[in-house]
Amino acid sequence: MTFSDSAAQQNARPAFGSGLSEEETEFLITSGAFTAEELAETQREIAEGLLIQQELGTRLGAINRTIDSAEAAEKLQVTQEEISGFYTKGILYGFNLDGRTLYPTWQFPDGENKPLPNLVSIIKNLYEGFEEPASVEGFMTTPKENLTWMTPIEWLEKDGDPAKIIGIIDSFLMS
C-alpha cells in the first residue's frame, strides 16, 4: 500500500482510538448505528471526558433534587422518626449519601402532605430495577408509551394501576 492509499483510507475512516476493532468500527458504521462522523464525534467526547461530565452532572442533579429527613417530615407534617419508618417500610423512596438518607422531591406532589399515590406499590421494584438514584429519577420523570405517554409520576397521580409501572421495570430486568 502506498502512502497516498494509506492517507485516503485514514480520511475515509478516522482513527477512533476507542479500543474498537476494525470489524467493530465497520459494523457500527455499516449497520447504520453511526455515521463515520457521528462515531468520530462520540469518540472525541469520550476522549475529552464529556460523557463522564454529563453523567456526573446527571448524578449531581438527582442529588440536588432531594430533601433530607427533616424537610420530608415538615413536608408530610410528621416526625423525623415517622419519615425514617416510611423509608424502612418502603413507603418512601430514599437513598443514603454520606450517612444521610435523602428523599427525591419527585415523590412529593406539590401542595400535598402525603407521598405520591400508590408509590408504596412500586418502591421495591425501583430498588431492584435501578442501581442509581439518577436512574430512578430518569425513569419516573420520562413519559412511557405503556402509560399512554405519561410519566410514572403522572400515572400514579391520576390513580393509574401501579402494576403497569412494575411491568415496565420488570421488562428492564429481563432484558
Where along the chain do its domains lie? Answer: 3-48, 66-174
Query: Could you report the per-residue pLDDT of 147-174, keeping only the tens digit for each?
Result: 999 999 999 999 999 999 999 999 988 8
Looking up cell 429519577, which residue turns up? 137
Looking up cell 470489524, which residue turns up? 23
What local confidence, expressed as pLDDT, does residue 103 receive? 98
Residue 62 · residue 52 · CB < 8 Å: no
Looking up cell 430498588, which residue turns up? 127
Query: Could you report the per-residue pLDDT of 57-105, keeping only the tens digit for each?
Result: 899 999 999 999 999 999 999 999 999 999 999 999 999 999 999 999 9
What local confidence, expressed as pLDDT, does residue 18 receive? 55
One-letter amino acid at 135 equals: S
Residues 6+ apart with CB under 8 A from 156: 116, 117, 118, 119, 122, 162, 165
Span 35-55, average pLDDT: 87
Radius of gyration of the chain (CA): 23
Q: Give the integer Cα–Cα distance in Å for 143 and 168.
A: 12
What local confidence, expressed as pLDDT, does residue 147 receive? 97
- For the ranges 11-20, 39-48, 134-143, 159-168, the lowest mean pLDDT is seen at 11-20
Burial class of 110 by CB neighbour count within 10 A (0 to 12, 13 to 18, 19+): exposed
H or E element that contains 43:
helix 36-47
What local confidence, expressed as pLDDT, does residue 5 receive? 40
Q: Give the integer Cα–Cα distance in Å for 168 and 125.
A: 10
Residue 125 · residue 134 · CB < 8 Å: no
Residue 45 · residue 51 · CB < 8 Å: yes
CA atoms within 13 Å, Cβ hemisphere of 2: 3
Residue 93 · residue 130 · CB < 8 Å: no
- Between 2 and 20, name the one with better pLDDT: 20
